Chain A
Amino acid sequence: MLKAVNLSFAYPGQEVLKDISLEVNSGDFLGILGPNGTGKSTLFKLLTGVINPCHGEITLENRSLKDFSRLSLARKMAVVPQEGPGDFPFTCREYVMMGRFPYLGFLGAETPRDWELVASAMEQTQTSGLVQRRLNQLSGGERQRVTLARALTQQGDLLLLDEPISHLDIGFQLETMEILTRINREQKTTIILILHDLNLAARFCRKLILLHQGRIFAQGKAAEVLTPESLESVFRVKTQITVKDGIPVISLEESCRDKVQKT
């Protein structure tokens, strides 16, 4: 479905990504992991067509990403970026309706079907109670779920999320991941997301990509990617990994960043 071949990207004087090749199949649930500053966000911007690669190509359904207009891309792929929804007092329902933008008619005229889709997206994300609330009155967890609802109304086959749970407490983190899993199972939506929490990634993502210094360090199933060796060379941490029901559970031991620098 989404395929990247030999991607590389550099800002002037600084190479960020090199030789990235990946393939995402329909129905996948892919997590992208890696330390800060390793090019995760750049890869995200490449995959969502915000920036173009210096080398290599990205194709969506065998068509180059560059050939899509923003409008036709918006019908295929919904994106939850990191930015918050701003300071204006839109109601949550108005905000969720904005996801219908690529389908709406003249002056954004809504049809009953658009209202239905908005209602069902808010139900799926458990935000139905927030319909009349203003965006600037939401808590972090509510905001994240409303943003997800907006992305769902776009009805893309592909959903990309940039660190969707980084600022949430563990309850909301788990809840968000469960909602995503349900969407992935029930609507066959392909999901790609950037994560920091290794345990949640191991538990929910069916496929992982571990980035290290702008390259793909490892990719595959959680148990193959998350090993004590790989985590030590990528994150510079010592870990203990136990496998429970086929899912690796990572417990942190100590950082070895300083020691590496000293020796």
Chain B
Amino acid sequence: MTKTPNRSLYLWLGLLLLLVSCWVSLLLGTSGVGLPQLILTFKKMGGRSLEVIFYQLRLPRILLAAEVGMALAVAGASYQAVLRNPLADPYIIGSSAGAAVGACLASFFKLSHSFLGMWALPLMAFLGAVGAMLLVYRLARVGDKLPVETFLLAGVVVGSLLWALVSFLLTIQRQDIKQIVFWLMGPFQAASWGQVLILGIYLLIGGGILYLLSPSLNLISVGEETALHSGVEVEKIKLYTLLAASLITAAAVSVSGIIGFVGLVVPHTIRLLLGADNRILLPGSAILGAILLLWADNFSRVVFSPQEIPVGIVTTLIGAPFFLWLLNQRKKKGT
């Protein structure tokens, strides 16, 4: 656990596990389509319907779930470092509430019947999340600084306000409620290659920026003054980090609804396993987040089939007990 080579070995092992998970997930499903059919499809002998099942239904869904898991875990780890709070969550800045307002508005004004079509809901959710984030920044800014305390406070207040707005919109809107409620809890059935591509781009750029900032994030997470005196331009790095993490979260939330616990549990687990160094923590969280959400989604689509449970419920049902177990282990070890 001490030397970097060992730790990067864990990362490679994790990556391998993620790839295996993707392959296995391809074979899981409700339509009785498994390995033989997959082989046939690879040989281009499976026929049109098998191709649709694998390439248009399962694969984008698998990739999207993995990407959302990565996004939430990386954003969570970054927020935690920059806010110096291991309990910070990617939704802390009210982006989930903002996205929910956007989604409600989209369905309220029946935007899916406009030229936007199926993109109406994710687009409005994204705009809502970004809007909430900008509002929190404006409120939290003191002069040219962004103090952690005011940022957290502004996030909580804006979040509560927007959730009240969501409840209000849901109350006055009679029909279509099920669609919204289902979206809020994390839908992946509607996964498309377009969503995979867009979230992928956000993840690549945002995640790349965060990874490059990771040595500075290490210093900020031990103290802003310490970081400043070690040569980190603290306010700049904080701003870049929060922007990158918020955009990733907004992009994820717009396609996935609200998926709890991934952004909190995953970085925490990696910290316990591999330590707090963000150069390891960020990629490690990305990999574990992807694996976790992938299996949560598999669970949600297979176990109670043909009924699907929203993946957000699964992650919380797995995440909360796991988190408690972890805390308990830690208490026993006295660390």
| A interface residues with partner B (beta carbon < 8 Å) | 48, 50, 69-75, 77-79, 81, 83-91, 93-95, 98-99, 101-102, 104, 107-108, 132, 134-137, 150, 154
Contact = CB atoms under 8 A, between A and B. Distances in A.
Given A50-B228, A87-B84, A107-B214, A101 B219 contact: yes
B42 to A, nearest CB: 38
Contact of B226 (A73, A81, A87, A134): A81
Given A83-B223, A84-B223, A98-B219, A91 B2 contact: yes
B231 to A, nearest CB: 3
B229 interface: yes
Interface stretch (B157-165, B272-280, B293-301): B272-280
Interface string B209-226: 001101110110111111
A142 to B, nearest CB: 15
Contact of B230 (A74, A87, A90, A137): A74
Interface in B203-255: 211-212, 214-216, 218-219, 221-226, 228-233
A132 B335 CA distance: 13
B271 interface: yes
A86 B148 CA distance: 14
Contacts of B216: 101
Summarize B's interface: helix, strand, loop or mixed. helix
Contacts of A85: 222-223, 226
B231 A102 contact: yes
Given A87-B85, A107-B279, 16 more contacts: A50-B228, A70-B232, A77-B229, A81-B223, A81-B229, A83-B226, A85-B226, A86-B222, A86-B223, A87-B86, A91-B275, A98-B226, A101-B219, A102-B230, A104-B215, A135-B222
Given A86-B84, A88-B271, A101-B219, A137 B229 contact: no
Interface in B143-191: none
Contacts of A150: 226
Contacts of A108: 214-215, 218, 279
A95 B226 CA distance: 11
Given A70-B228, A75-B231, A90 B218 contact: yes
A150 B223 CA distance: 13
A90 B271 CA distance: 9
Given A71-B231, A101-B230, A104-B215, A88 B225 contact: no
Q: Which of A77, A102, A108 lies at the interface centre, i.e. has the most chain B CB atoms within 10 A of its CB? A: A108
A134 B86 contact: no
10 contacts: A70-B233, A73-B229, A77-B229, A88-B81, A88-B84, A88-B221, A91-B275, A98-B219, A101-B230, A137-B335
Contact of A73 (B2, B84, B222, B231): B231
Contacts of B214: 107-108
A86 B335 CA distance: 15
A163 B226 CA distance: 15
Contacts of B230: 74, 98-99, 101-102, 154
A150 B279 CA distance: 19
Contacts of A154: 230
A128 B124 CA distance: 55
A107 B272 CA distance: 22
A84 to B, nearest CB: 7
B121 to A, nearest CB: 37
Given A87-B86, A90-B277, A107-B214, A101 B222 contact: no
A29 B271 CA distance: 40
Contacts of A93: 2
A112 B279 CA distance: 19
Contacts of B233: 70
Nearest to A108: B215
Contacts of B2: 91, 93, 132
A101 B232 CA distance: 8
Contacts of B218: 90, 94, 98, 108
A136 B275 CA distance: 12
Contacts of A87: 84-86
B219 A89 contact: no
A104 B231 CA distance: 11
A69 B212 CA distance: 20
Interface in B11-47: none
Contacts of B231: 69-75, 101-102
Contacts of A99: 230
Nearest to A110: B4
A91 B279 CA distance: 14
Contacts of B279: 107-108
A88 B223 contact: no
**Residue picked from A70, A84, A88, A95, most chain B C-beta under 10 Å:** A88
